[in-house]
Structure 1
Amino acid sequence: MPIYTPSPPAALLTSSPIIPLITIALVIMASAQRAAAGRNQLLRVPPPIQRFKYSKRVVLKSILDREDKGLAVAGQRVVVGGWVKSRKERAEVDDAPIPTPPAEADDVLFGEVHVQYVPLLRPISGTPVGGGGGGAQTLAAKDKHIVIYLLINDGSCSSNLQLVMDSSMSIPGQVVTVGNSILVEGVLRRSWRGRRRVVELIVEKLLYVGAVDLKTYPLAKPQPSSLFLRDHPHLRPRFITIGTVARIRSNLTCACHAFFDDLGIIHVHMPIITSIATGTQSQRFQVTTLLNAADQGHVDLEVFKAAVQEKRSRIDKLRRGGNNKEALVAAEEDLEKSKELVRVLEQRQKTATVYVGEVKLSEDFFGRAVYLSTSAGLHLESYACALSGVYTIGPVFQADESRSTKKLAEMWMVEVELAFVELEDVMNCAEDLLHSLCYSLLATAGNDLKFASKQIDSDCIKRLQSITSRPFDRITYSKALDILNQVKDRSFLTEAVWGTKLSEEHERYLADDFFENPVIVYEFPKEIKPFYVRGNANLITASAFEIIAPKVGVLVRGSQKEERLDVISKRIGEVGLPHEQYDWYMDLCRYGSVQRSGFSLDLEKMVVMATGITDAEDAIPFPRARGNAKL
């Protein structure tokens, strides 16, 4: 604290012979006060460690994630628990201070468990070790004993706590090995690990040991691969890397809720079972209680709908070409026939006598065809038209046949719908949300990000800092095509042409190489966006946008919704959708229609971008992908 030193009167400064004595006295007083303040700071007792509210246990995060790494709480008695990550043992001389073993190698990706097979199966007390000249001798003599060093982690943070315990501590019939759960009581003390000052726990009581059989324990295998871990999804969160990703995902979810809560935007729960199709996704998961494995006569209505979309795209190309009118007329006639067939099939599915293969839909649980939702957006709009601003966080599903490491069959989306909001407003909201999420991680998940930077992706922290450092660039879809078509130092597998979606390699170039930061692309061609996106006055483009981010590509998709009844009705017909299925949606335009906009954020991609993990299957607790639906 600052020390106030009074100034002597001006007269004394010029004439008094005692000036030197006064000056020296004041300097001595100030020095004494500073020394006393320093002693008080050193002697100040740190606040006690907070126990977990619902048990006597202290979570390791409250010890190891402090600014002082727990050194200030040395000497406190605590109860801690966790799972054993490694074990070492050493013979020590009685009455000698217990040393800390040499520092171990840092944890590595998917290889945090360090197994020492030889000592693990020996009993804790009376442990035999090999002696010279053959035979085994027991170091249970008076002059020596066995000291056991355990690293444990309880999942609350990425750091491990070292336990130091004597081999005489044991629970009958239990052996402390890698994979055990353990609950102990002891005293924290300072120690050295290499050149680093650390805190460790001297165990005084062994309260509980959860047994594990190393012969059958899947994770006893050193350095298991990510593929191996995905085969054991119920055990893989014990690996520090997966635990770190899970905590970062939790931080992002909480930050989303905080962001919207501060804005007064209301959280609502949306259904995941729906009878309507959303967006342009033609492959959906059907929900039924009437299964027949021998179904060979299944009529897949979605195949016919996909064919209609393909024929419509072909007609658009023929119209742009303008050279083959006969082919265009033939294609338009074929399209009308296909649309009529789809309408007939849809009508038959609603009758009591129609079967889909061997499934009689009228006898199904819902009495009609229903699917897992591919988006909550349309349902969410109905609440936005009453509550003004709403959001939801939940799963969506798509039967995507691609093998991309960024796509899953089950994904979690943050979806937002805002009334009285136009396109630019909702783009601002989406950008602010991304800035807020990155700020939150940098401010509150520092230790987990440091682990991710060290073990997963060395650029992850820099990437988050870059996102928060400046506004996102904004370009039109046409400008994006111009940038891609002017690239000379590389070639793309897919040509960037008007009317097509940007490919993953196009997205990577824009975000990772050209802008080196997220970029907002807007004003897409109307044909490649869903029917509910508001069309622009030029009748060519739509009021839609995408935020393309480094490492992951499209992270956010959004749009201004069509609020004009006549336009939305016409658009539904243009894309070949049955009006009766969307009559409820058109009610939002019939009764108190309002301008509204929204967007969705892919939570798995956000986790991938934040941590640098290479596969989206490792960004979600229980991944669902093509050929993988364990548990």
Structure 2
Amino acid sequence: MESEQAMPATVSTQLTTFKYSNRVLLKTILERRDGGLELAGERVVVGGWVKSSKEVRKEPVPLIVGDHGPDEPEPRSDVSCVEILQSRIPFLRAIVKVLGGSVGQYPLREKLEAAVHKPPPPSTVFLKVSDGSCVATLQVVVESSLAPPSQLLHTGTCIIVEGLLQQSLVHGTNVIELRVDKIHHIGTVDYSKYSLAKKRVPLDKLRDFCHIRARTTTVATVMRIRNALDFAAQTFCQNHGFLSVQVPILTTTDCKGFGEKFQVTSLFGKAGGKEEPHHKAIAELEGVSLDVIKAAVKEKSNLVEELKRTDSNKEALDAAVQDLRKANELASQLEAREKTKPKTSKKVDNVKSSEDFFSSPTYLTSSGRMHLESYACALGNVYSFGPRFQADKEESPKHAAEMWMFEVELAFSQLEDAINCADDFLKFLCKWVLENCPEDMKFVSQRIDKTRADHLHSVISSSFERISYTEALDAIKKVTEKKIDTKIEWGAALTEADLSYLADEIYKKPVIIYNYPKEAKPFYVRLNDDGKTVAAFDIVVPKAGKLISGSQNEERITILTTRVKELGLAREQYEWYLDLRRHGTVKHSGFSLEFDLMVLFSTGLTDVRDVIPFPRSYGKANY
């Protein structure tokens, strides 16, 4: 619905409109100390989505019965004209039918039918509207004379309206409401197919609707906190003289030296030199395709069962069944193709990599630190923020195939410098969230985790415990409880359970663990004098686990070359990296923040897929 009247050029001098749409953000109204009461009487334009609604019908016009004197009170009836007519519908229809054949009686029939189909009485619609700028919603009051209530009442309806702010007559969450006198836009909702039609949809179900789940209060709150952390991280770096550098997503190097990688190719579908009509570039882990489809089939089967169990609308169930049928057909085709393939063939259709888009094997990057290092050796202090990929199939609430990393690299620095920087960096992020997201953190405390703000305060005020890997191992071995494996031998990697126990139970505060065995860290980490450990560190936080990993990198070309050889890495892929040691080498260090896990820690949620806008995990990449 579009209004013929144009939106106003200006609004209240107390409010600032959004420059590019001339509307007022709801946070500028609702997050004032008085809840916006001082703005009563101001004219504004707002836009947003309906979170909840109700319609209140007005009292019908009273029916006058008989004559009465001028000084007598007007008699009133509890029954409206419409109700009287509706009660006489069978009788009236009979009269109309009898009189229908007479030409002279058509006017009577039309009047009777018009009375029977009289429109509903006027009503007032009360809408709770959110525009995503804050947790709170604004109550918007619309008379039915401006728009049919049926167009406004459904959850998810988008509106742009104009009117006067006034003090709410009903005491509730808002002290101010908007009385609408102009409607500029109504974006209606197909409610039978709208995924958020039901209240309190579980977070795991919302993952199936990532394109609209941000309309829920919980996910919207998480995204605002995520935005604040993004801004805070870059603010810290910019304030301390770091330069932002964009590193590549595609790389020919194994940036960690271990772990599964996604190989990128444009040869999928080629066989015997014949190219399919569509030249598709894909990122595929060898041998995973069939497993991915089977996982999708299982997920879609569960969705169908859930829709049947919850008596969902028939259209949604039919669509899910059809989707499952297609997935089963694709799985059958892939199974048949796998059976006909030569068992010795593991390459993509046996096409040489020299024929690929890139002349050598190329992967999605799992870390940007190696590339970032080259710019640190020219610009001094640099940072990068972007997606990193790991093709592990593990099902973990703290792992996804695509996760975002905030990476920092410092030239002319050693391990201690990187640890100090990471310590300050983490505390800065926690403080920023508490100071700049008070309403969102209030919602987190009320609806997700009432102790979350306390955990953030604890990080800010704590003096992080600093222990070596060997000291950490000794502390674990002294544990008498059976919660963790205390028989772990020196040289083994510390598990997530080990790290959490150190921070949660033993030290009860953030822990920095350094000097790891060289086998547990990437090949480029600087070898210590003992020849067994490397200058690497992790920061482990209570109720969060490991958030930051860092290291001083090896600047000595002879030792780095030896490490490449020990691990059997293809040296030709690392010649550019070795060049940094040949030409003006310098001691340097840095660290990586698992950004998604930082958001998880700040919000108190338990699964990383709930804090990533469009999560990608094993078998699930629907967008």
Letter aligned with residue 447 of structure 2:
Q
How many residues are paired up? Answer: 499
Q: 3-state DSSP class of the match of 1:271?
A: coil
Structure 2 distance, partners of 1:573, 1:617, is 38
- TM-fit CA distance, 1:481: 1.2
Deviation sequence 1:246-278 (CA, Å, 0-9, x none): 111111111111111111110010000001101
TM-score of the aligned structures, taking structure 1 as reference length: 0.74
Of the structure 1 ranges 555-564 and 485-494, higher mean CA displacement relative to structure 2 is found in 485-494
- Counterpart for residue 49 of structure 2: 83
Q: 3-state DSSP class of the match of 1:79?
A: strand
Structure 2 distance, partners of 1:53, 1:195, is 31
- Counterpart for residue 371 of structure 2: 379
- TM-fit CA distance, 1:590: 0.7
Q: 3-state DSSP class of the match of 1:187?
A: strand
Deviation sequence 1:414-472 (CA, Å, 0-9, x none): 01111000101110000111111111111111111111111111111111111111221
Q: 1:487 to 1:293 in 2, by over 3 A?
A: farther
Match 1:228 to one of 205, 230, 246? 205
C-alpha RMSD of matched pairs (Å): 2.9
- TM-fit CA distance, 1:147: 1.5
Q: 3-state DSSP class of the match of 2:209?
A: coil
- Counterpart for residue 319 of structure 2: none
Letter aligned with residue 565 of structure 2:
G
Percent identical pairs in the alignment equals 46
- Counterpart for residue 439 of structure 2: 447
- Counterpart for residue 394 of structure 1: 386
Is 2:156 the counterpart of 1:179? yes
Q: 1:211 to 1:261 in 2, by over 3 A?
A: same
Asked if 1 retains the 8 angstrom alpha-carbon contact of 2:86 and 2:116, the reply is: no
Letter aligned with residue 71 of structure 1:
L
Is 2:402 the counterpart of 1:410? yes
Is 2:140 the counterpart of 1:163? yes
Letter aligned with residue 420 of structure 1:
F
- TM-fit CA distance, 1:223: 2.6
Q: 1:463 to 1:355 in 2, by over 3 A?
A: closer
Task: Within 5 Å, give how 1:28-39 maps onto structure 2.
Answer: none
Is 2:563 the counterpart of 1:566? no
- TM-fit CA distance, 1:280: 3.2
Deviation sequence 1:304-357 (CA, Å, 0-9, x none): xxxxxxxxxxxxxxxxxxxxxxxxxxxxxxxxxxxxxxxxxxxxxxxxxx9654
Structure 2 distance, partners of 1:55, 1:506, is 52
Task: Within 5 Å, give how 1:418-437 maps onto structure 2.
Answer: 418-437=410-429
Structure 2 distance, partners of 1:498, 1:139, is 85
Asked if 1 retains the 8 angstrom alpha-carbon contact of 2:58 and 2:124, the reply is: yes
- TM-fit CA distance, 1:500: 1.1
Structure 1 distance, partners of 2:285, 2:163, is 66
Deviation sequence 1:114-170 (CA, Å, 0-9, x none): xxxxxxxxxxxxxx99999899999978xx741211111111111111111212211
Q: 3-state DSSP class of the match of 1:426?
A: helix
- Counterpart for residue 207 of structure 1: 184
Of the structure 1 ranges 448-457 and 492-501, higher mean CA displacement relative to structure 2 is found in 492-501
Asked if 2 retains the 8 angstrom alpha-carbon contact of 1:419 and 1:596, the reply is: yes
- Counterpart for residue 596 of structure 1: 588
Structure 1 distance, partners of 2:512, 2:153, is 54
Match 1:66 to one of 10, 32, 35? 32
- Counterpart for residue 614 of structure 1: 606
Match 2:535 to one of 523, 543, 556? 543
Structure 1 distance, partners of 2:39, 2:414, is 54
Q: 1:500 to 1:294 in 2, by over 3 A?
A: farther
- Counterpart for residue 483 of structure 1: 475
- Counterpart for residue 459 of structure 1: 451
Is 2:242 the counterpart of 1:276? no
TM-score of the aligned structures, taking structure 2 as reference length: 0.75
- Counterpart for residue 616 of structure 2: 624
Deviation sequence 1:164-218 (CA, Å, 0-9, x none): 1212211699454211100111111222665666211111112110011111212
Letter aligned with residue 538 of structure 1:
D
Is 2:523 the counterpart of 1:531? yes
Structure 1 distance, partners of 2:216, 2:85, is 36
Q: Which sections of structure 1, spanning at least 5 residues, go unmatched?
A: 1-45, 96-127, 304-353
Q: 1:191 to 1:278 in 2, by over 3 A?
A: same
- Counterpart for residue 76 of structure 2: none
- TM-fit CA distance, 1:513: 2.4
Deviation sequence 1:28-63 (CA, Å, 0-9, x none): xxxxxxxxxxxxxxxxxx961110011121011111
Q: 1:171 to 1:146 in 2, by over 3 A?
A: closer
Deviation sequence 1:597-623 (CA, Å, 0-9, x none): 010001100000000111100111000
